[in-house]
Structure 1
Amino acid sequence: MRLALYQPDIPQNTGTIVRLGACLAVPVAIIEPAGFPVTDRNFRRAGMDYLDRIAVERHASWRTFADDLAARGSRLVLATTRAELRYTDFAFAATDTILLGRESAGVPDEVHAAADARLAIPLAPGLRSLNVAVAAAMLLGEALRQTGRWPEASPIGRVSRG
């Protein structure tokens, strides 16, 4: 299981997703170019000291990421508002890569077409989308639940109060 971010725009969201990956022992890949440097204060603040607990994979482009995906034999599972299939109706595999698009624009048609599966999170009528970090947590939680691949750490972690 792996999370991947396509050209993320917002450092706070990326830091939060990297923190999510660290806490749940799931690698995170960033497909460049990102809309901010990884030295950004907001990215580091959102990721806290968890950034040192996870190896973030960086890919120079969509093409290098797609080559890596093929070499791993991993399915590409895209979270998108343009999907018909609910994420809870999809059978996740332990080797899946869950891809989240850019906050400002999602993913281009080429990336959308390359996905092995396209999943949506149902929303109330008239609402467009969730925060990308919230969507990542929902999809990853369901994927880990289905595959039984929760980290072998303490039984229950702490909820942050700040």
Structure 2
Amino acid sequence: MNIVLYEPEIPYNTGNIGRSCVLTNSTLHLIKPLGFSLDEKQVRRAGLDYWHLVKIVEWNSWEEFLDANPDGNFFYATTKSHQTYCDVTYHENDFIVFGPESRGIPEEILKKNPERCITIPMIPMGRSLNLSNSAAIILYESLRQTGFNFGE
């Protein structure tokens, strides 16, 4: 699987997600600008001793990322959808996209792909779950659907 963080802002979240990627043999795609440096102690601390094993691909822009993955099967995690992350069918090597912690995936991306938008159900009192928790929930559902084939 592929986890895509569009302009992530919080190093701890990226570190935690990187650790999940290592332990599931998933690739972490980071779309710049990042709200931190990958050399920051917080990223490495959250990723623990796994950080050097993370398969990271950095992209200078959303457009560069899309151009490099023209046949990619994308899902967009957002609170602005009624389709849950369990309502879709995942395939190996899908891309699950998450937006920046403070604002989510840009509206123009979501509007171009409404059938590919997915959400995690929750009670209405909260805005959203933590990014690293959301990534883990959806990543593991995609892995469950594809038979936990880690491609080792």
Match status 1:117 vs 2:150: no
Output aligned runs, 1:68-79, within 5 Å: 68-70=68-70, 73-79=71-77
TM-score, normalising length: structure 1:
0.88
Q: Offset of 1:10 from its aligned partner? A: 0.1
- Give the letter for the 1:8 counterpart: P
The equivalent residue for 1:39 is 39
Q: 2:112 and 2:51 mapped to 1: Cα distance?
A: 29
The 3-state SS of whatever aligns with 2:86 is helix
The 3-state SS of whatever aligns with 2:66 is helix
| Identical residues among aligned pairs (%) | 36
Output aligned runs, 1:1-162, within 5 Å: 1-70=1-70, 73-115=71-113, 117-151=116-150
8 Å CA contact retained: 1:94, 1:149? no
Give deviations 1:58-96, integer Å, cap 9, x for gaps.
Answer: 0001110111221xx111100000011011111111131
8 Å CA contact retained: 2:28, 2:57? yes
8 Å CA contact retained: 1:3, 1:99? yes
**Stretches (4+) displaced over 6 A:** none
Q: 1:69 and 1:109 mapped to 2: Cα distance?
A: 21
Q: Offset of 1:150 from its aligned partner? A: 3.5
Structure 1 unaligned runs (5+)? 154-162
**What value does the CA root-mean-square deviation take over the aligned residues?**
1.4
8 Å CA contact retained: 2:30, 2:57? yes
8 Å CA contact retained: 1:77, 1:99? yes
8 Å CA contact retained: 2:26, 2:55? no
Q: 1:37 and 1:136 mapped to 2: Cα distance?
A: 20
Q: 1:128 and 1:104 mapped to 2: Cα distance?
A: 10
8 Å CA contact retained: 1:2, 1:96? yes
Structure 2 unaligned runs (5+)? none
Evaluate the alpha carbon distance shift between residue 114 and residue 56 of structure 1 in structure 2; reply closer, same or farther with a 3 A threshold.
farther
Q: 2:141 and 2:66 mapped to 1: Cα distance?
A: 24
Q: Offset of 1:152 from its aligned partner? A: 6.5
Q: Offset of 1:5 from its aligned partner? A: 0.2
57-66 or 121-130, larger mean C-alpha shift: 121-130
